[in-house]
Amino acid sequence: MKVAIYPGTFDPITYGHLNVIRRSAGLFDRLIVTVARNQKKRPCFSIRERLEMIREVVRSYRNVEVDSLEGLLVDYAKKRKATVIVRGLRAVSDFEYEFQMTLMNRKLNPNVETVFMMPNESYTYLNSGVVKEIAMQRGDVSRFVPESIARRLYKRFGVVPHSKKKGPERLRVR
């Protein structure tokens, strides 16, 4: 059985992430989408919230599991009997960091391969940070994340969900 891990912070999960998940789920017997704690980032959503959001939007995939990890990814891969790490590449700017991480992971555990997947070209510009910024500024994020995720973003930032005629508005605090 070929087991792969797709790690990320997923704060929040976007259609770009979901595109990589859908395609990876078709390539591997089991795909573990893993929410990683990244000390460099200050996430908007807790680990528990991100796990809930991801489970909600991937529940139709029978071979996709959602989990979280602390520590080294290669140690987690060994524990879960995964031999592949899936990483999404949006642009050339992602490549240098991903290349460095891949070489380091290979040094730590040569039995784990890294596979790079480019999301559909319509998502190459998309990242969670940009989506959060749009939601914070009362913009429409419905083209970038599933509806349930958009609702959570609007709620987190105190934004009333948009209508087709008018963009989202800030909730008034009394």
Out of 22, 30, 80, 90, pick the active-site residue. Answer: 90
The answer to whether residue 17 is catalytic is yes
Query: Does residue 30 carry a catalytic annotation?
Result: no
Do 35 and 50 touch, CB atoms closer than 8 A? yes
Helix (H, G, I), strand (E, B), or coil: what is residue 44? coil
Closest CA to 43 of 18, 67, 9, 8: 9
Alpha carbon separation from 28 to 42, 86, 115, 154 (Å, rounded): 31, 10, 11, 34
Known catalytic membership, residue 128: yes
Per the residue annotation, which of 24, 128, 132, 152 is the catalytic one? 128
Query: What distance in Å separates the CA atoms of residue 36 and residue 77, rounded to the nearest whole number?
Result: 13
Q: Of the listed 41, 48, 79, 143, which one is catalytic?
A: 41
Where would I find the beta strands (DSSP E) of the chain? 3-8, 30-36, 64-69, 84-88, 113-117, 159-160, 169-170
Is 46 a catalytic site residue? Answer: no
Q: Which one of 17, 87, 132, 152 is the catalytic residue?
A: 17
Residues known to be catalytic: 17, 41, 90, 128
